[in-house]
Structure 1
């Protein structure tokens, strides 16, 4: 792990325990076995969906993007606000909303399989 991902344990201490797992050159950040955030190039991104994407947009925060064969791909993770690194309650609130988005996504996958 990197110092950055290690530091996230402190950032999210009021949200609850997290784990970080390497993936695609970055790290997935998990709570209760469910990925709610990712780290790429020492930048934290949080899970977004239709219910919480407005929170990110109001803050002027953009989505995670990567290049795949010359095409820019966006996924449902948005850059975390810088303020949450200084305010543990704010970090917990953002983490809860993103974890809830991850739960909704997981529930949607289960429904589509049945």
Structure 2
């Protein structure tokens, strides 16, 4: 099932403190971009995740953010460069935008 317009609006509202914000549909969810750089994804099941690399990985670990992994039948588990947003940031646009801006500095 694809995301609803309300769910997409919620993501845009959460990240309203991020400049040049846009979204693109992908696999039933959306990619979230700032100035053309993807920094987050929202899966069709409603999980919102921030992209991370470099110095952001220890930061996400310190926040106890869970890394997104998936496993295809008959294959080993694969870790993706995305971490599930902390619950506190899902309801606090300032915290969500702060994390997003910090993540963008490392992409």
* TM tier relative to shorter chain: 0.7 to 0.9
Aligned residues of 1:65 and 1:73 also touching (Cα < 8 A):
yes
CA pair 88-25 structure 1, distance change in 2 beyond 3 A: closer
TM-score by length of 2: 0.82
Please point out which of 27, 47, 51 is paired with 1:47.
Answer: 51
Please point out which of 21, 33, 44 is paired with 2:24.
Answer: 21
Distance 1:93 1:99 in 2: 10
Cα RMSD, aligned residues only: 1.7
State the number of aligned residues.
102
List runs of 5+ in structure 2 lacking aligned partners. none
List runs of 5+ in structure 1 lacking aligned partners. 103-114
Please tell me whether residue 84 in structure 1 is matched to residue 89 in structure 2: yes
Report runs of 4+ in structure 1 exceeding 4 Å deviation.
none
CA pair 25-67 structure 1, distance change in 2 beyond 3 A: farther
Aligned residues of 1:47 and 1:101 also touching (Cα < 8 A):
no
Aligned residues of 1:15 and 1:91 also touching (Cα < 8 A):
no
Distance 2:21 2:73 in 1: 33
Corresponding position of 1:99? 104
